[in-house]
Amino acid sequence: MTPQDHIDLSADCRVTFHRTLRVPDDGGDYPLPPGLGAMSVYPVAEDEFVIPVHRAEALWLGFGAPFWKPHVLKVGTGSVDAVSGEPFRPSALSRLPQDYVVIPDQPWLDGINAGEGYVRQFVAVPLGHRLTVESQLEPGEEDGGLTLALFDPRPGRFPDEPPLTDPRGPLCMDMCAASMGLGAGGRIRQEVYADGYGIDTWEAAPSRTVRVDLVDALAFGALTGIEAPPPVDARAWTALGRPWFDLISPTQADIAAAERLARVCSLADLTALEDDPLPIPESQVIRLLRLRELVA
């Protein structure tokens, strides 16, 4: 398998998965942690990808789209919408509650929407131990991983070609195994922006939907010989005097807290994960065997 550092959702839109520090899950509020490089993404089938991650490793999603032609993206953490907390429906948009983000207006997403200018950090956890967000909100078997659904704007809403000059100026930057799911980590100061264009701006059906499986990095390495970089400890990062990031000022355009997501317990409330290595559930062995076939 040949790795890539992002997923192209269309000719103009992409998503990048970034390694980052896991912020302390101690009830405090923290600024945006730094990016530590893009995670390797392995295409395994049409519209299906695999990312090896370590247990208890944090990640964030960076979005790229033309500033002159925004798009809409839905993010499903397993079977739960990361923005609304409702069951994830990749085929349609909801206005109340808003269950999507507008990209590139929303340049990144570090966790599930906690409202009031905060998210709960995305942290990789094994399935089968009731640690994922979806295991707390949805009955039945966990899907794990992520699902991304891209919606185009309706024709005529935005230009089809870029302007001759970039109005943002020259300093503009492009914001761009065993099965794992995403649990809720510490609180990060980050807004999930409300849609300022209106839901009628976007097509009713997605132009593309992709599946991203998260797999245990150690198991992935044992099967493929490809090792993922180790996680970085947040306290060690701070001790080295390295920077964190924060918003200059709030925009007052944050989506309200999702009632269902407000009920999600953090990993610190569920288990002392670092002190209790969890086994790979037997039900996930089939996915490991599938990976073995792919790299054989």
Residue pLDDT, tens place only, 115-159: 788 899 999 999 988 899 999 998 877 899 999 999 999 999 999
For residue 193, give the nearest of 278, 125, 256, 280 by alpha carbon. 256
For residue 58, give the nearest of 86, 30, 84, 80 by alpha carbon. 30
Token pair of 104, please? 């590139």
**CA 160 to CA 149: how far, in whole Å?**
21
pLDDT tens per residue, range 55-83: 889 999 999 999 999 999 999 999 999 99
- Which distant-in-sequence residues (6+ apart) come within 8 Å of 135 by Cβ? 142, 181
Residue 48 has pLDDT above 90, yes or no: yes
In a domain, 167, yes or no: no
Q: How many domains does the chain have?
A: 1
In a domain, 163, yes or no: no
For residue 9, give the nearest of 61, 67, 65, 70 by alpha carbon. 65
In a domain, 126, yes or no: yes
At residue 295 the predicted structure's pLDDT band, cuts being 50, 70 and 90, is very low
Q: What is residue 79's predicted lDDT score, i.e. its pLDDT?
A: 94
Q: What is residue 227's predicted lDDT score, i.e. its pLDDT?
A: 84
**CA 35 to CA 88: how far, in whole Å?**
27
Residue 173 has pLDDT above 50, yes or no: no
Residue 272 has pLDDT above 70, yes or no: no
Residue 189 domain boundaries? 7-158+172-295
**CA 211 to CA 78: how far, in whole Å?**
10
Q: What is residue 290's predicted lDDT score, i.e. its pLDDT?
A: 52
In a domain, 189, yes or no: yes
Q: Is-cis flag, bond preceding 3, omega within 30?
A: no
In a domain, 165, yes or no: no
**CA 232 to CA 191: how far, in whole Å?**
24
> Cβ-count burial of 161 within 10 angstroms (0-12 exposed, 13-18 middle, 19+ buried)?
exposed
What CA dihedral angle connects 201, 75, 112 and 23, to 10 degrees? -120
**CA 27 to CA 200: how far, in whole Å?**
38
Q: What is residue 249's predicted lDDT score, i.e. its pLDDT?
A: 52
> Cβ-count burial of 127 within 10 angstroms (0-12 exposed, 13-18 middle, 19+ buried)?
buried
Residue 273 has pLDDT above 60, yes or no: no
**CA 222 to CA 235: how far, in whole Å?**
29
In a domain, 103, yes or no: yes
In a domain, 85, yes or no: yes
From the centroid of its chain, how far is CA 268? 20
Asked whether the beta carbons of 198 and 97 are under 8 A apart, the reply is no
Residues 243-278, buried b or exposed e (16+ Cβ, 10 A)?
ebeeeeeeeeebbebbebbeebebbeebbebeeeeb
In a domain, 142, yes or no: yes
Flag whether the pTM goes above 0.85.
no
